[in-house]
Amino acid sequence: MTDTTTPAAGGNEPAKAWSGRFTEPVSDLVKRYTASVSFDQRMAGQDIRGSLAHAKMLARQGIIAAADLADIERGMAQILGEIERGEFAWNLDDEDVHLNIERRLTALVGDAGKRLHTGRSRNDQVATDIRLWLRDAIDQILVLIDEFQANLLDIAEAHAGTPMPGFTHLQVAQPVTFGHHLMAYHEMSRRDAERFADCRKRVNRLPLGAAALAGTSYPIDREFVAAELGFDEVCHNSLDAVSDRDFAIEFCAAAALLMTHLSRLSEELILWMSPRVGFIDLADRFCTGSSIMPQKKNPDVPELVRGKTGRVNGSLVALLTLMKGQPLAYNKDNQEDKEPLFDTADTVVDTLRIYADMITGIRVKADAMRGALTQGYATATDLADYLVKKGLPFRDAHEAVALAVRAADVKGCDLPQFSLDELRIAMAHVPGAAERLGEDVFGVLTVEGSLASRKHVGGTAPDQVRAAVARARKLRA
């Protein structure tokens, strides 16, 4: 093993990659404060991939010898194995993942390791690593969204005809089906998938070759490296290439929206599981008990999803704030981009994994859902629509039904429990309303009649819900 390090000025420790300019070593406090290896070592695989592509290009362009490339490839293979086996010795003195790997490579293969950094800077190197890492994270997230959607579609189809109240302002509004309600979240998840896929396009641009900020005088071939690493294109301005973090902000924005959607669903699961509502129950594996109250079954997972949404939102704001005052080009501030980005990706991945499973553990209490439709006059709008179809202007129909609801409230019954004469009496103050009522009115006041009438695309009629599920499955195929 060749030792290629030299003592730093003023001490016996190995020299920093940049130590020649300085007359004294960095203090231990500054080392700890400025080092990123504790969290950026998770990009080791991406760093090695990027370095191998860079080395291959250097050899292809005649900038380094073929023998150097062979040594670099051999050394990197050993380093990757050490990392995967947990044998790699990460060193705080080497600051970050890049210098740790380069130091080990040089120790293994000598001068070839020193030549690897030809034509690049840590600025474009780290920008490349982040994009490679984030691209992998997005691909994983898209797979998990797809799994969540598949399970959501299964339960939506199973309950395409299960009536429940639709709410506005948390007040009973009109009948919908549970399947239709869940399909609203499928639409949200479709937009989430579209956003991540679109974000990936801007992530997938290669900054390597921009060097520190101005490019390099070596005859490099950036397009070759882009093709080797699966990038769609190169970043076309060297200043922007090393300092851009738009892609990370965009990712966090897409993540914040996804988490907001899951937080909304979590809030509903929590409400529906409450004994005061009692629409569903969650499988025990997603709940916890109380240390003092033996009867408790707490929906901890959806509650934590609600809480973790704030965490992801905070990461988005952190990155926006990080970038808002930075001049071109690279600044040390950008080291602070990784922890919020990593945490956001980890939170989204863990949340999607658990949600995909949790959605299969929902037990629907259909009787409670139907029972709730007897409160709140859920078919009142259907009665107004009936009168309109009989020729009454909508505003008059609205007034007539409002009077009927007031009468039902006084009597303590629902609209379908009125007799035809009672309905006519309740509407008598609106000219033309009472005489338009016939026995057929009770057909539209039933839950099934209300649901079946919403038979257009996007409506809550059970057949339309099933059609929506079929369309969604076709889109996923």
- Residues marked active site are found at 169, 290
Answer positive or negative: Cα dihedral of 343, 346, 347, 348.
positive
Do 340 and 249 touch, CB atoms closer than 8 A?
Answer: no
CA distance 467 to 475: 12
DSSP code at position 16: P
Q: Which amino acid is at 275?
A: P
The beta strands (E) that lie in 4-115 are given as none
Rounded to a whole number of angstroms, the distance between the first and last alpha carbons of the chain is 53
CA distance 139 to 134: 9
Structure token digits, residue 259: 């988490």
3-state helix, strand, coil in the chain (%, to 5): 65, 5, 30
CA distance 419 to 417: 7
CA distance 376 to 266: 24
Residue for token pair 């299969």: 360
CA distance 95 to 31: 7
